[in-house]
Amino acid sequence: MRVLITGAAGFLGSHLSDRFLAEGYEVVGMDNLLTGNLQNIEHLFGHDKFTFVKHNVYNYIHVSGDLDAVLHFASPASPIDYLEHPIPTMKVGSIGTMNALGLAKAKGAKFLLASTSEVYGDPQINPQPETYWGHVNPIGPRGVYDEAKRFSEAMTMAYHRYHGVETRIVRIFNTYGPRMRLHDGRVVPNFIYQALTGKPLTVFGDGTRTRSFQFYSDLIDGIYKLLHSDETLPVNIGNPSEITITQFAEAVLKATGSKSEIHYIEPTDDRITDDPKVRRPDNTKAMSILGWEPKVDLETGLKETIDYFKTRI
């Protein structure tokens, strides 16, 4: 069995590469390294079943030989990244998705799209089931990411319905763990870096926004099960344990033993514009179809993540 993983040098793509190699697959990893890092996959160089190709997926994709699956994980995923690279974010979600789907069609391969809970926007219902259509500002600064993923889902379903491509869509909720970039702007690396260096933990707004954090290994397991299921419609994969950003900051302080304070600030840029006030997955579908549910608690996941970041500071 042979798979292509786009975005393979990223946080999730690198862990996916590890999982599929461990399952005996041959893996072709593809990344243009805009936000990916070769350090995430350097341990795979020399592996007889791993090949890396530096390539931008919104250019035509060519892979020699057979493929059993294409997993499309290429995309900036942090607000800092997609605010800095808005057009590449849109292009990788549109042209890149079409190229990856076209390759899957040509190879007779399954196609799995990495979508996101951001397709729900700033939701008006909580938790969010897959049947919820979302509440998204298409012309706001975050729209370049939200709408790119919504387009990706629509294109994926079009290829499934019109061309008969066997497709899967995973809607990923906030995920953390080793190999996140230290300064990618997301709350997990931000808080851990600030706590470990004795800086104040900066919370945007009043700290009452909620998130539900899942450890990367739970997500990777859910993705693997989804690929091998028969479900073609989107499936939420996330941890339903919802906490406020203030509570998460307190958990980081406890896990690091840091004496840092929590500072509440109003950002002067677009990072919090249209930022969801709540975020929590309805996992009913994943539990019933995949037999999946998260296993790693926040305390355990934070410890492993903090240990990783200690080696990067």
Q: Is the pLDDT of residue 269 over 90?
A: no
Q: What is the mean pLDDT of residues 284-294?
A: 98
Q: What is the mean pLDDT of residues 91-113?
A: 98
Per the prediction, the chain carries an average pLDDT of 96
* pLDDT band at 273; cut points 50, 70, 90: confident
Q: Is the pLDDT of residue 302 over 80?
A: yes
* CATH class of the region 180-211+241-280+297-310: alpha beta
* pLDDT band at 57; cut points 50, 70, 90: very high
Q: What is the 3-state secondary structure (H, E, C) of the chain?
A: CEEEEECCCCHHHHHHHHHHHHCCCEEEEEECCCCCCHHHCHHHCCCCCEEEEECCCCCCCCCCCCCCEEEECCCCCCHHHHHHCHHHHHHHHHHHHHHHHHHHHHHCCEEEEEEEHHHHECCCCCCECCCCCCECCCCCCCHHHHHHHHHHHHHHHHHHHHHCCCEEEEEECCEECCCCCCCCCCHHHHHHHHHHCCCCEEEECCCCCEEECEEHHHHHHHHHHHHCCCCCCCEEECCCCEEEHHHHHHHHHHHHCCCCCEEEECCCCCCCCCCCCCCCECCHHHHHHHCCCCCCCHHHHHHHHHHHHHCCC
* Cβ-based neighbour number of residue 224 at 10 Å: 19
pLDDT tens, position by position, 126-143: 999 999 999 999 999 899
- Domain spans of the chain, in order of start: 2-175+214-237, 180-211+241-280+297-310
Of residues 183 and 112, the one with the higher pLDDT is 112
What per-residue confidence (pLDDT) applies to 266? Answer: 85
pLDDT tens, position by position, 206-234: 999 999 999 999 999 999 999 999 999 99
* CATH class of the region 2-175+214-237: alpha beta
Paired tokens of 97: 């998705």
What per-residue confidence (pLDDT) applies to 272? Answer: 67
What per-residue confidence (pLDDT) applies to 267? Answer: 75
Cα end-to-end span (Å), the chain? 38
Instruction: Give 50's strand partners.
Output: 27
Catalogue the active-site residues.
145
What percent of the chain has a predicted confidence (pLDDT) above 90?
Answer: 93
Range from 44-53, 182-191, 194-203, 261-270 carrying the lowest mean pLDDT: 261-270
What per-residue confidence (pLDDT) applies to 241? Answer: 96
Q: Is the pLDDT of residue 181 over 80?
A: yes
Range from 259-263, 267-271, 295-299, 304-308 carrying the lowest mean pLDDT: 267-271
Q: Is the pLDDT of residue 271 over 70?
A: no
What per-residue confidence (pLDDT) applies to 260? Answer: 97
> CB of 81 within 8 A of CB of 35?
yes
Burial class (CB in 10 A: 0-12, 13-18, 19+), 47: middle
Strand 2-6 relative to strand 26-31, pairing: parallel
Report the C-alpha gap between 241 and 256 in whole angstroms: 21
